Structure 1
Amino acid sequence: MTLIMGRGSHKLLSSIFILLLLHLKPALGFISSVGDNNMWCIERERQALLEFKKGLVDDNNWLSSWGSEYAKRNCCSWEGVHCNNQTGHVLELQLNSCGLRGKISPSLIELHHLSYLSLSGNDFNNSEIPEFISSLNNLKYLDLNSANLSGPIPFQLGNFSHLQYLDLSWNNLKPVQNLEWLSHLVSIEHLDLSTFNLSVANDWLKVVSGLPKLSGLWLYNCSLPFITPSSLLHINSSKSLTYLELSNNPCINSSISPWLLNSSTNLVFVGLSSNQLQGSIPNVFGNMKSLEQLFLNDNQLEGGIPESLGDICTLRKLYLSSNNLNGQVLDFFHNLQGCAKDSLESLHLGRNQIMGSVPNFAIFPSLKELDISLNKFNGTLGERIGSLYKLEFLDIRSNMLEGVISETLLSNFPNLYYLELSSNSLTLNFSFDWVPPFQLSDLYLRSCQLGPDFPNWISTQRNLLFLDLSNTGISNTIPTWFWDMPFQLNYLNLSQNQIKGRLPNVSSIFSDLAILDFSSNRFEGPLPVISSYLTSLNLSKNKFSGLNLFICSKTGGMMHLDLSSNNLSERIPDCFMHWQELEILNLAHNNLFGKIPRSMGSLIRLIAVDLGNNSLSGELPLSLQNCTLLRFMHLEKNKLSGSIPAWIGERMSSLIILSLRSNKFRGSIASQLCLLIHIRYLDLSQNSISGTIPQCLDKLTAMAHKISDVMTNKYFIWNGPEYSFFSDYGSYSDNSVHTIVGWKGNVYDYGKNFGEMRSIDLANNKLTGNIPEGISSLIELKALNLSGNMLTGVIPKHIGKLEQLESLDLSRNRFSGSLPASMVGLHYLGYLDLSYNKLSGRIPTGTQLQSFDPSKFMGNAGLFGPPLTTKCPEDVTSDVGGSKNHQEDRDAGSKNHQGDRDEFWKCLYVGTGLGFAAGFWGVCVSLILNRSWRHAYFLMLINLKEWLYVTIAKDVSQQEAITTSLKVCEKSSN
C-alpha cells in the first residue's frame, strides 16, 4: 500500500511539475513555436522586436506578419527574422530595402545572439548610428548602407572582433579624421565606406593594408588624400585583396602603382575610374594574372594599350573610356591579341582619340559589349563585327563611319538589347517586313538615314525604354500602330525631321513616358493632352495651337516645357498654379499678347523662363519676385513697359542671364541690380532707359571672377542667333551646344562652355553721365556695348584691365578726351567701334587697335594716327622750301637720327617763334618812330620773309602767319 501510494504520489508530482513548467515557460522567456519546424521563440527577443517595430513607419506593410496575436506569436516566422533551429534565438534580421521609416530602437540590444543585421535601403530620418549596436558582440554582418544616417561613426564599432562584413556607405556621416578604429576589426573581409569624407584620413592606406583577412574594399567617392611615395615605405600591401574599388577620388593618381604592384597577386576586380591617373597605362596591371575586371575610364591616360594586358587570360571586362588614348587602331588591337582576346566580354574605348579604319573585331569571339563611340574611326562596319554572335551592347556613335547597315548584319545579334549608331554617315537598309531576332531596350539612331517612311520593324520591339530617331529624314506621318504599341518608353525623341500630322491623346499612350521631344517637325493642330508622368516636353518649332486648354489642364510633375516657335496666338492663360514642379518654361517666338499672368509667380521652382519674341505688354507682375531660383530670364522683343523692378536684384540673386532688350522699359537702372552677383549676361538694350549707369557695377562678382555653374550648360543652348532650352537626356552627352553673341555683324561662339561668357549690353537707350570707373574691375568681361546713348566724360583710363574683352562698342555717344593708353592691353579684342563721339588725340599704338577698319573711329574730329589716314600735326611736312632738303636728310640718315632731327626742329620752331614774336614787335615799335629806319628795315624784312619760308615754316598755315605778321609790321611802318 505504501508502495502503491508512493508510486501514485510520484505520478501526481510529475503531472504537477509538467503543468507548472507549462505555466512558467513565458516567465522563463520562451514559448512554443506555432510553426511547422517546432523551433522556440524567445519571449524577451519577441518583445524587443515588437518594440523595434513601434519606432518605424511601415508604408508597405512589410512587417504585417509581426504581431501579438496568437497566430503571429512565433517571431521566428516573421518576415526578415531568422532563428537558431535548436535554441530559438534570433540570429538574423534582414530588413533591407523595405521602405521603412523612423528610428532604430535600442530594444535590439536584447538580441544577444544576433549575428546578421541588415537595415540598408531604408530611411532613418537622418538619425545617428546608435551606439548600442556596438554591444551586439556576436555580429558578423552589419549592413547600414543608404539608410539616411548622419552624425559621427561610433568608435565602439572597433570592438566587433568577429565582424566579417561592414557596409556604412551612402549615408550622411560626418568626415572621418582617421581610421584607427578599423584596425581592430581583425576578422573583417568586406569593407564598404563609400561616400565617406576621408580627405584628412591620411592613415587609410596603412589601416586597410593591415587588415589580414580583407578581401573586398570599397572606398568609392571618399575624397581620399594624396599618396606620397614616402608613405608607401612603411606600408605592407594587402595580400588578401581580391576586390578593390577606389573610383571617383580625384587625389588618387599614378603614385598608387607601387602599392598595387605588391597587392596584385589575387586581385580579381580593380576600379580606378574617375581619378587622376596620368601618363601611359601602368604595366602593373599585367602582373594581375587573376584579374577579371579593370575599370580605368575617365582618367587622363595617354598612349595605347600595353601588351601586358593582352596576356591576362582571365580578363573579361576592360573599361578605358574617357581618357586621352590616341594612335592608330591597329596598334591598339595588336596588343590585345594575347590570350585575353578569348576571354574578353566587355571592351569600352569610347571618348578617346583613336583613329583609323574599323578593325576586325572577330578576334574577340566572347565579346558581349563593344563601345568605340566618340573616337575617329572611319570606314565601314561590314563584316568587322558580323561574327560577334554574343553581342548584347553596341555603341559606335560619333565617329566617321559610313556605308549601309543591313538587316543581314544585325540579324547576327540575337541577344542585342542596346544599339547606338548615332552621328555617323550611316544608312539603314531594312525590308518593310523585317523581323529582328532581338528585343531592344535602347535604340539610338540620331542622324542616320532612315526616311522617308517611319521604320516598320520597330513594331516588333516590345521592350523599348529609350528611342531616338531624331534627324533621320522621316517626312511621312507616324503610323497608327505606333500609338498602339505596348511600349514602356521613358524617352522618345523624333525631333529634327519633317513628320507631319496631328498628335493623338498622349496621356493614354506610353504611360511611363518621362521625356518627349517632337521639336522641329511639321506637326499641327491643338497641343495634345499629355501624360501625368511626363517630366520633359519639347514641341518647339512646329505649328501647334491651343495654349489655353493645354496650360489649364493639370499636368502632374512636368519639369521642362518648350513650346517655342509655334502658332500660339492668344493670351497666356492664368493657370500656372497647376505647374508647381516646372523648372524650365519656353514660350518664345510665338504670337502671344497681353500681360504676363500673375500665376506665373507660383512657379517657385522655376530656373529658366523665355517669353521673348512675342507681343506681351504691361509691367512685370509683382508675383514674379517669388521665383527666387531663376537663373535665366529672357523677355526680349516684346512690348513690356514700366520701370525695371528693383526686386529683380533683391529677390533674384541667382540670375545668370537677364535679357530685357527691345521693349519699352523706362526710368533709371536701379542700383539693386548690382546685387546680381551671379549675372554673366546682362542685356537691357533698345529700351527707353534714362539716368546714369550705376556706380556699383563692380559688385557684379561673376563678371570679375571665373565661376563655373553646371546649371548654365545643363539647361541652355543657343541655336545660331536664336536660342532654346535643352536638357541632355538619354545616352547623348555630345550634343552641339553653342552660345552665340553678335556685335555689329561679328559673331562670337562660346561653344559648350557658356560659363565663360560675360557680357553687358546697355545700347540704344537714353543713358547720360559717364562710365563708372569700377567697370574696369570686371576683368572677366568679354563684351561691352554702351552705344547709342548720351554718355559723356572720358573712357576709363584703366579699361585696359579688361584683358578678356572681345567686343567693345562705345559708338554714338558724347565721349571726349583721348583714348587711354591702357587700351593696347586688349589683346583679344575682335570687334571695336568708337565712332561718332568727341574723342581726340593720337590712337594708342598696339597690334589690336591698328587692325580695325578706320570707319570704327570716324566721327571723332580730333583723333589721328593709324589706322586713320589723318596724320599727326607734327608728322605733316611742307611741300615747299626746305622739304626737299629734309627728304634728302631722311634718305641719308637712320630712323633714330631722323628722330633726333625732328626733335631739334621742334625746339627750333618753338624758340624761333617766341623770340621772333618778341623781337619783331619791338623793332616795329622803333620803326614807327623813325621813318628813315623804317624804309631801310622793310627791305630787310622782304629778304627775311623768304628765309623764314625756307628755313622755318613747315606748312602753309605757318607761312601765312609769317606773312600776316610782316604785313602788320609793314602797315605800321607806313
Structure 2
Amino acid sequence: MDGTASAAAALLWQLIILITSAAASSVHPPQQSHSGCLAVERAALLSFRQAITADPLNLLGSWQGLNCCQWSGIRCSNRTGHVVKLDLRNTMFWEDQLNLYMDNPHGMQGQVSTSLLALQRLKYLDLSGNSLGGQGVVPIPSFLGSLKSLTYLNLSCIDFYGGVPPQLGNLTRLLYLDLNSIYYLQQLYSSDVSWLRHLSSLEHLDLSGVSLSTASDWAHVVNMLPSLRILRLEECGLSMSKPPLIHSNLTALEELDLSSNNFNGPLAPNWFWDINTLRTLNLQLCSMYGSLPENLGNMTALQVLDMQGNDGVTGMLPESLRNLCNLQEVDFTSTSLGGDITQQMERLPKCAWDKLQSLSLVATSMTGNLPVWLGNLSRLEAFGVSNNNLCGTVPLGLGALTNLSMLYLDNNNLSGVITEDHLANLRNLIIIDLSYTSLKISVGSAWTPPFRLLRAELTGCPLGPGFPALFRQQKGISYLDISNTGIADAIPSWFWEQISYASTVDMSQNQIDGELPEKIEAMTWQELRLNSNRIKGSIPQLLRNITRLDISRNSLSGPLPSKFQAPELQALVLFSNSITGSVPQSICDSRNMAILDLSNNLLVGELPRCMPTEMVSNGSAGFSSLKISTLLLSNNSLSGEFPTLLRNNTNIAFLDLAKNNFHGNLPGWVGDLSALVIFRIRSNMFSGHIPSEITKLENLHFLDLAHNNISGMIPQSLASLIGMTSKDIDPRQAGLDGPFVPTSARFGEFMDFEWFHDSLSVTIKGRELPYDTQLVYMVSIDLSSNNLDGNVPEEVGSLVGLINLNLSFNHLTGNIPYQIGTLQLLESLDLSHNQLSGEIPGTLSNLTSLGDLNLSYNSLTGSIPSGPQLDTLHTDDPASMYIGNPGLCGYPLPNNCTDNNPFREDNEDRSTEMYLLLGMLVGFVAGLWLVFCAFLFKKRWRITYFRLFDDLYDQVYVFVTVTLATSLRKSGRT
C-alpha cells in the first residue's frame, strides 16, 4: 500500500507540474535569459524543505524570498531559469566519521520529497552525507529515476536501506553515479545490476559498500560501460574464485578499486590486467594469491599500485615492472613477497625513480640490508619497511631524500647510528618510527634539526643514558614515544618545555628520576605514560585535558589530589607506588572514568559513597554510578563495606578488592553488575553467605572469594554462570575489552588498553602466579579458606570451561560429585581440608588436562582410581594428594587395598569354607533326588536294587552272626 500510494503521489505531482508548466508557458513565453526561478520549481524546493526535519549546518537557511536561484546550493540556467543544480552535500560527514562513529551530528535529517520531480531540467543532484534514510529503514527513492536530465547523481553516505532501485537505469544521460555506502556497510544491495547496461555514457561509478554478493554477472555488466573512467567497488561482497573469461571493453578506465572483496582466487590471469589505461589499481585485502603477472608491465600508465593485505601474494616482483615509468605509489604491505629487499627494490622501474612518492614494503618477510642507492629515489615522501627481517645499518643515502616526510623502519634487526649526516637534509620529515630496532640517534646538543616532527616513535632504541638532544628543537611535537630506551637521567627543564603542547607522551620503562613539574596542570597532554621509572615526590594537580595518565611502578608518595579537575579523564593508573591517604570524594565527579588502578599502595579508609541522585522504588537512596569498567584496588589497607559506588554500574568488568580490610556481607545487588568478568575480593574480612544473585553474572569468568569469613552453602544454580559453561572463550569476539584483553575495540580510538601493564595473581597448582592479558582465559573459581558447608553442588559439572577449581579449607561434606569428570579443561582441582566422604569418583581419570590434584585431609574411603593422567601427577610425592584420608587404599598410598583390613584374610577363608559346605550339600541333595527319581520311574531298577539289598543284608547278617558266635566260643574257652 505504501509503495502504491507513493507512486500515485508521484504521478499526481508530475501531472500538477505539467499543467502548471504549460500554463506558465502560455502566459510567459520562453525568453533568452532569466533573472529568477520558476514559481513551480520554487514551490517544489520549498516542499522539499518541509520534508527536512533537522538542518544542523543550516544549509537551507537561505531558502527564503522569491528568487530561488540565489538560494544556497541552487544554481539555475541563465537561459531558461530552470533549476539545474541542487548541491546539499554535508561536507563534514567524512570528518565526523573519524571521531564520532556514525552519529553524523551535522547531517540533515528527514526524507527526500517527491516534489523534486518538478525539477525536470535538473542535471546535478548531490545529497551525500546526510541522514535521509530514516535511520536505515527507507530505501533510495525510485522516483529519482524520472529525473532524466540528470548527468550527476551523488547519494553516497546516506543511511538508505534496501535494494538499489533499477529505475536508476532510466537516467541514460548520467555521467556520474555515486551510491557509496561504505559507512553503512551492506545496508544497500543489488541482486541484479543489469540496469547499469542502460547507462552507456557513465564515466564515474561508485557502488562501494553496496552488497553485490548475489549479482553473479557484475563483471560482464560493468564491461559494457565503455566510457567508464572511475570504477569503485570496494567491499561489495564480490567473489571471483574463477575469474570471468572476458576481454575487457573498458578502454578509458583510469581507476579500478576492487579492495576488501573476498575473491579468494589467483592473482593472474584476471580480466583487469588487459586494461592498459589504468592509472590506479587498488586490490588491497582481496584474498588473492600467486605471483604478479608479467603483463602487469603492459599497464604503462599506472601511477598507483596497491596490493596490501593479500598475504598469498608471493615471489619476486616481475621484470616487466621496469616498464611502469609513471609509478608514484606502490604498496605491498602484508604480502609474502619475501626475498632480499635490495633485489626486490632493484625491480622497481629506474625510469620512475624521480617520480616515486610512496613505497611501502611493510610486513613482506623481506631480508637483507637496505640498498645503498636508496637516495636515488629523489621524490620519495613516504618510505615504510617495518616488520621485516632487515639487518645492517641505515645507508647515508637516506639523507638525500629531501622530500621525505614519513619514515618507518620499526620492528627490524637494524643497528648502528643515525647521525646528523642522515638527517641534515630531511627538512620535510614529520614522522619517524625506529621503534623495536637497535638504531641510536646521535646528534650534538648544539645541532639544530631542519625539520619539525609531529610524531616520533623510538620505543626500544638505545637512546640513553641522557635525554636525547634531538628533541631540544621539537616544540610542537604531537606524539612522542621514547619508552624503554635506556634513559637514566632526570627530565631536563627544556624537555618539559618542548613537549608542553604534545597530545601523547610515553617515557615508560626507563630509569628516569626526579619529580614531576609543579605546573604540570598547565600542559596540554591528553595521554602521559611515565610508568616503570624512578619518579618520586607527590602527585601534582591533574592536567585538565588529560584522558589517560599512567605513572605506575614509581616512587610517588603523599595523598591523591583532593580534586579531580580533569573532566575528560578516562584512565588513572597509579599502582605500585607509596601513595597514602584515602580515595578523595571528588572521584565521584569523574563521569568518564573507565579505568582506576590504585593497587599496591598505602591507601586507607573507606571508599567514597558518592551522593545519592534518585530514590528507588522502596524509598532507599540510589547512588550515582560511575562508568568505571576496571577498578583495581588490591593490596592496600582500605576498609568499609562492599563499595556502594559500584551500585547500578553495568559497565564494571574487572573488579579487584583483594588484600584489604573490607568487611560485612556481600550485597545481593552484586548480581546486577551484569558486565562483571573478573571478581576478586580474596584476603578481606567479608562474612555472611554467598548471595545466590551472584549466579546472575552471565559474563563471569573469574571468581575469587578466598580467605574471608564467608559461611553457608555454595549456591546451587552454578549453571547460570554462562561465561564458565563454554570451552571456547574469546573475550575479543564477545566484545570484551580491558587491561587483561590483548586487543581493544569497545572504546575504539578513545581507549587503547595495549599500553596498560598491570597483572593479577592467581593461586593455581599450589602456587601464586601473575596473569596479565591471559587472565580472561583463566576460567576459575576459588572459594578456599572460608567457612562454607554443605555439599559440592552437582551443577559444577556444567562449568565445562573451568580451568581452576579450589574449594579447600572449608567444611564441605558429602561426596565428590562424579560430574566433575566432565570438566575436560580443568588443570587444577583442590578439595583438600574439608569433610568430604565416600569414594573418589572414577570419572576423575577422564580429566586429561589435569596438572594438579589435592584431595588430602578429608574422610574419603575406598580405592584410589587410576588413569594415564592421574598416575603422572606429583611424581615427586604422589601420596601427598591423598594423605589424611585413613579410609583410602591403593596406589600411591602405602596401604594396598588387599592389606588394608586386618580381618580381610579370615573373612576370605570363612567365605571359602562356607562355599565348600554349600557345594557338598547341593551335591548330596542332587544325587539323592537322582536315585529317588530313577527308582520312582524304573520298576526293574527298583526290583534289582531291593534284591541286591536283600542279598547284601543276608551276607551281612551271616557275617555278623558267624563272627559273633566265633567270638563267644573263644571267650568261653578262655
TM-score (norm 1): 0.77
Taking only aligned residues, the RMSD between alpha carbons, in angstroms, comes to: 4.3
CA distance in 2, matches of 1:299, 1:834: 54
- The one of 502, 519, 532 equivalent to 2:516 is 502
Letter paired with 2:255: Y
Is it true that 1:619 corresponds to 2:630 in the alignment? no
Is it true that 1:83 corresponds to 2:85 in the alignment? no
CA distance in 1, matches of 2:347, 2:697: 56
Letter paired with 1:631: A
Cα 1:337–1:141 shift into 2, 3 Å: closer
Show the counterpart of 1:319: 331
Residues 182 and 235, structure 2, Cα contact 8 Å, conserved in 1: no
- The one of 413, 433, 436 equivalent to 2:446 is 433
Show the counterpart of 1:638: 660
Report SS of the residue matched to 1:431: coil
CA distance in 1, matches of 2:343, 2:839: 62
- The one of 412, 415, 423 equivalent to 1:399 is 412
Bigger mean CA offset, 396-405 vs 455-464: 455-464
Show the counterpart of 1:942: none
Cα 1:753–1:524 shift into 2, 3 Å: closer
Letter paired with 2:285: S
Residues 690 and 768, structure 1, Cα contact 8 Å, conserved in 2: yes
1:119-158 C-alpha deviation (Å, 9 max, x unpaired): 3334446374445433332222222333444565444333
CA distance in 2, matches of 1:57, 1:301: 48
Report SS of the residue matched to 2:84: strand
- The one of 453, 459, 472 equivalent to 2:485 is 472
Show the counterpart of 2:505: 492
Report SS of the residue matched to 2:202: coil
Letter paired with 1:471: N
Show the counterpart of 1:217: 231
Residues 406 and 428, structure 1, Cα contact 8 Å, conserved in 2: yes
Letter paired with 2:110: K
Letter paired with 1:715: G
Structure 1 segment 857-868 matched on structure 2, within 5 A:
857-859=881-883, 860-861=885-886, 863=888, 868=892
Give the C-alpha shift of residue 918 in structure 1. 8.0
Cα 1:100–1:874 shift into 2, 3 Å: closer
Residues 784 and 807, structure 1, Cα contact 8 Å, conserved in 2: yes
Letter paired with 2:135: N
Structure 1 segment 361-440 matched on structure 2, within 5 A:
362=374, 364-383=377-396, 385-440=398-453
TM-score (norm 2): 0.77
CA distance in 2, matches of 1:564, 1:30: 81
Give the C-alpha shift of residue 466 in structure 1. 1.4
1:290-348 C-alpha deviation (Å, 9 max, x unpaired): 43333333343264444357445244333233345555556644655776767543332
1:664-713 C-alpha deviation (Å, 9 max, x unpaired): 22222233222222222222222222222223222322323224333877
CA distance in 2, matches of 1:305, 1:205: 29
Is it true that 1:293 corresponds to 2:304 in the alignment? yes
1:359-399 C-alpha deviation (Å, 9 max, x unpaired): 54626554432222223323322437444444322112222
1:147-192 C-alpha deviation (Å, 9 max, x unpaired): 4445654443333222222223245473525143444443333232
Structure 1 segment 16-415 matched on structure 2, within 5 A:
40-46=36-42, 48-49=44-45, 52=48, 55=52, 57-60=54-57, 66-68=63-65, 75-96=68-89, 97=91, 99-104=106-111, 106=113, 107-124=115-132, 126=135, 128=138, 129-150=140-161, 153-168=164-179, 169-172=181-184, 174-176=187-189, 178-180=191-193, 181-202=195-216, 204-222=218-236, 224=237, 226-229=239-242, 232=244, 241-249=253-261, 251-254=262-265, 257-261=268-272, 264-278=275-289, 288-301=299-312, 303-308=314-319, 310-311=321-322, 313=324, 314-323=326-335, 326=338, 329=341, 332-333=344-345, 336=348, 344-360=356-372, 362=374, 364-383=377-396, 385-415=398-428
- The one of 850, 867, 873 equivalent to 1:845 is 867
Report SS of the residue matched to 2:415: strand
Give the C-alpha shift of residue 576 in structure 1. 4.2
Show the counterpart of 2:530: 518
- The one of 561, 578, 581 equivalent to 2:572 is 561
Instruction: Report % sequence identity.
Output: 35
Cα 1:838–1:465 shift into 2, 3 Å: same
CA distance in 1, matches of 2:302, 2:856: 70
1:560-583 C-alpha deviation (Å, 9 max, x unpaired): 232333443233233345322222
CA distance in 1, matches of 2:651, 2:304: 43
Show the counterpart of 1:944: none
Is it true that 1:716 corresponds to 2:729 in the alignment? no
Is it true that 1:606 corresponds to 2:628 in the alignment? yes
CA distance in 2, matches of 1:254, 1:529: 59
Letter paired with 2:593: L
Give the C-alpha shift of residue 757 in structure 1. 3.3
Residues 239 and 262, structure 1, Cα contact 8 Å, conserved in 2: no
Residues 29 and 42, structure 1, Cα contact 8 Å, conserved in 2: no
Letter paired with 1:844: S
Show the counterpart of 2:679: 658
Letter paired with 1:743: I
Show the counterpart of 2:958: none
Residues 469 and 494, structure 1, Cα contact 8 Å, conserved in 2: yes
Letter paired with 1:442: R
Cα 1:748–1:361 shift into 2, 3 Å: farther
- The one of 814, 819, 825 equivalent to 1:793 is 814
1:186-209 C-alpha deviation (Å, 9 max, x unpaired): 333323233334455555445444
Report SS of the residue matched to 2:647: helix
Give the C-alpha shift of residue 660 in structure 1. 1.8
CA distance in 1, matches of 2:190, 2:841: 55
Residues 195 and 219, structure 1, Cα contact 8 Å, conserved in 2: yes
Bigger mean CA offset, 608-617 vs 281-290: 281-290
CA distance in 2, matches of 1:783, 1:834: 14
Number of corresponding residues: 849
Bigger mean CA offset, 115-124 vs 654-663: 115-124
Show the counterpart of 2:960: none
CA distance in 2, matches of 1:803, 1:908: 40
CA distance in 2, matches of 1:735, 1:272: 36
Residues 447 and 470, structure 1, Cα contact 8 Å, conserved in 2: yes
Show the counterpart of 1:682: 703
Residues 401 and 426, structure 1, Cα contact 8 Å, conserved in 2: yes
- The one of 828, 848, 851 equivalent to 2:849 is 828
CA distance in 2, matches of 1:814, 1:280: 69
Bigger mean CA offset, 499-508 vs 279-288: 279-288
Residues 356 and 378, structure 1, Cα contact 8 Å, conserved in 2: yes
Cα 1:567–1:918 shift into 2, 3 Å: closer
CA distance in 1, matches of 2:116, 2:403: 50
Cα 1:324–1:238 shift into 2, 3 Å: same
CA distance in 2, matches of 1:335, 1:739: 52
Cα 1:912–1:621 shift into 2, 3 Å: closer
Cα 1:835–1:550 shift into 2, 3 Å: same
Bigger mean CA offset, 751-760 vs 427-436: 751-760
Report SS of the residue matched to 2:664: strand
CA distance in 2, matches of 1:375, 1:741: 37
Give the C-alpha shift of residue 64 in structure 1. 5.7
CA distance in 1, matches of 2:482, 2:295: 44
CA distance in 1, matches of 2:757, 2:660: 29
CA distance in 2, matches of 1:666, 1:731: 37
Show the counterpart of 2:824: 803
Residues 279 and 300, structure 1, Cα contact 8 Å, conserved in 2: no
CA distance in 1, matches of 2:636, 2:320: 61
Report SS of the residue matched to 1:232: coil
Bigger mean CA offset, 49-58 vs 690-699: 49-58
CA distance in 2, matches of 1:730, 1:647: 28
